[in-house]
Chains A and B, each alone.
Chain A
Amino acid sequence: EVQLVESGGGLVQPGGSLRLSCAASGFTFSDHYMDWVRQVPGKGLEWVGRIRKKANSYTTEYAASVKGRFIISRDDSVNSLYLQMNSLKTEDTAVYYCARVAGAGYGYNDYWGQGTLVTVSS
């Protein structure tokens, strides 16, 4: 059974940093691209970014709203995905989901974690 479990959310002050983790199990993690998607409570979904697999040099893509502040990384040896969030702003307050990218070529997310809430407030 595919499982994605996020952790690391919490309350942080504006300008601060936080690192989210996503533990993956039930599939060959290293074979898949992975995404982070966020959702302000009560609002819609916003794609944050993507990391490709080793065969694609672990290259990354980011939304403009987080580019230069957030860094996505992965450690295939421990089946984990990370989101390093720096220079946090109040508008980064959201539930953050990690999601697996299906291997079929269309790039959609076939499995999602339960999410972790990040609150940026003074």
Chain B
Amino acid sequence: DIQLTQSPSFLSASVGDRVTITCRASQGISSYLAWYQQKPGKAPKLLLYAASTLQSGVPSRFSGSGSGTEFTLTISSLQPEDFATYYCQQLNSYPLTFGGGTKVEIK
């Protein structure tokens, strides 16, 4: 199985900060990676797919990069509504797997 390791698992940031979350795969997954945002009590929401393609309706302050084994999710200027938990997911091979999550909290 492909393991995904997200870092950090927790980060504290202020409104307006640039935030970067890393997702490392235990083996190469090309660009078969998606990023989701989840708020408490809600279902996950798709942010990006194919590592760097922004889902329709998602603000452009979200961006993704990487291929192979190392990927990043960047929020260019953190907004109040961005405080949430973020997950990466690999779609390269079964079983599909998620990273452990990164919780972004208000400093």
Q: Which residues of A contact B (CB under 8 A)?
A: 35, 37, 44-47, 50, 61-64, 97, 102, 104, 106-110, 112-115
Contact = CB atoms under 8 A, between A and B. Distances in A.
Main secondary structure of the interface of B (DSSP, over half): loop
A107 B55 contact: no
Contact of B98 (A44, A62, A97, A113): A44
A109 B87 contact: no
A94 to B, nearest CB: 13
Interface of B: 1, 32, 34, 36, 38, 42-46, 49-50, 55, 87, 89, 91, 94-101
Given A45-B38, A107-B96, A108-B89, 16 more contacts: A44-B87, A45-B44, A47-B89, A47-B96, A47-B97, A63-B95, A97-B44, A102-B49, A104-B49, A106-B34, A109-B34, A110-B55, A112-B45, A114-B42, A114-B43, A115-B43
A44 B49 CA distance: 19
A115 B91 CA distance: 22
Contacts of A47: 89, 95-98
Given A106-B32, A106-B50, A114-B43, A46 B91 contact: no
